[in-house]
Amino acid sequence: MTIEQDCLAVLAQELGPAAKSFLLRQCRSHLNKEPATLEKSDIENLAKWCQAGIQMAIGAQVAENVRKGILALKQKP
């Protein structure tokens, strides 16, 4: 799986079908790149921005779960 697919899997657990558009928005707005070009070096920044966006809309606990899930992708081979 690509990093984009892994991130979508994490986000879909909390956001369902909105995960794809959310990831696209975070990548374009904050990382200035497309989700398909995500690299491991982007994971920490992406986790921070996803947490911020989700916390405002859904709540702190869900945001923290997403942050942890995305950060865990750094350990994936």
**Which residue, chain included where needed, has tokens 């200035």?**
32
Asked if residue 26 lies in contact with residue 66, where contact means CB atoms within 8 angstroms, the answer is no
Task: Tell me the pLDDT tens digit for each residue of 6-48.
Answer: 999 999 999 999 999 999 999 999 999 999 999 999 999 999 9
What 8-state DSSP symbol labels residue 32?
S
Q: Identify residue 23 by its one-letter amino acid code.
A: L
Q: Check residue 46 and give its pLDDT.
A: 98
Domain boundaries, the chain: 3-75
Q: Where are the alpha helices (DSSP H) in 1-77?
A: 3-15, 19-26, 43-57, 60-71
Q: Check residue 15 and give its pLDDT.
A: 96
Length of the chain: 77
